[in-house]
Amino acid sequence: MIGGNRQNGFSLIELMVAMTITAMITGSTVVNLRSSTAAKNRAARQMQLQQETRMAVNTIATALRNAYRSGGNRMVLEGVDDSIGQMPADRVRLLAISRQTVRPDQPESDVKELEFGLVIPTDVGASQLPVLMRRADPTRNKQPDGGGVVEQLASNVLALDLDYHDGLKWRDDWPKDTKGWPVVIRIRLVVLAGSAARSVDLDLADPAMLAESRWAWRTSRIVNFPRRAMPNKRDKQ
């Protein structure tokens, strides 16, 4: 008989080695799974940021395209050139045709006063970066009553810049007593990723540098205002 009696099974050392290898494989799988999940979450947040930024700019552009231009005292467009720190924080106010309900179950006009601008949040624990707000007022209140319903369009905003072309040159603002309307309005919005805004590694005191970083998402729109043809003498006759 060759060999002695041999018991089937593993020795204690073999079991320890097998358990160690199993633990290493399991740990590596968990780490890779967490890393993959974190990457997917970052991509999802980035996509949500991009969609929010596009929707915010499209909301402003849609309001401008639907501007109510009847002439007279109701011809309202006011563009204010402002800043927060080093970055543009412009505001624009206008009358626009909108069928969106502002106050449910209350009579409203189709012509609403809309205003867009940046506001520093005051909530505890919130990012100190501005948020883009829209104020919609369906009533015809006399100034300085700035009533209406305010809602947030985008958060962690680094810059909101609006430029107005009068047919000859670009202007930073459009005073409300300006005769006529601009030929073109350019809207530019820069938003910082939410996760980046909460990171201690980023210097929020230098938004100009952040606006050019990979953490920022930039989008813009151009809104044209075609000139209305003026009737000539022959048409009048």
At residue 71, the pLDDT reads 59
List helix spans (H) across 95-161: none
Is cis: bond before 182, omega within 30 of 0?
no
pTM: 0.71
Q: H-helix or E-strand containing 180?
A: none
Give the number of residues written for the chain. Answer: 237
The CB density around residue 109, as the number of other CB atoms within 10 Å, is: 15
At residue 148, the pLDDT reads 79
pLDDT tens for the chain, 237 residues: list them.
445 555 555 677 777 777 788 778 777 777 776 666 666 666 666 677 778 888 999 999 999 999 887 655 556 799 999 998 888 999 999 988 877 766 666 666 778 889 999 998 876 555 578 899 999 888 765 555 557 788 999 988 989 999 999 989 999 999 988 888 899 999 999 988 765 555 544 555 566 666 666 677 888 999 998 765 444 444 444
Q: From CA 201, how far away is CA 178, in angstroms rounded?
A: 45
Reading the block at residue 74, the tokens are 């109701």
pLDDT digits (tens, 9 = 90+) for 91-102: 999 988 877 766
DSSP E strands in the chain: the ranges are: 77-80, 83-84, 87-88, 91-97, 111-119, 131-137, 149-154, 157-165, 170-171, 184-192, 216-224
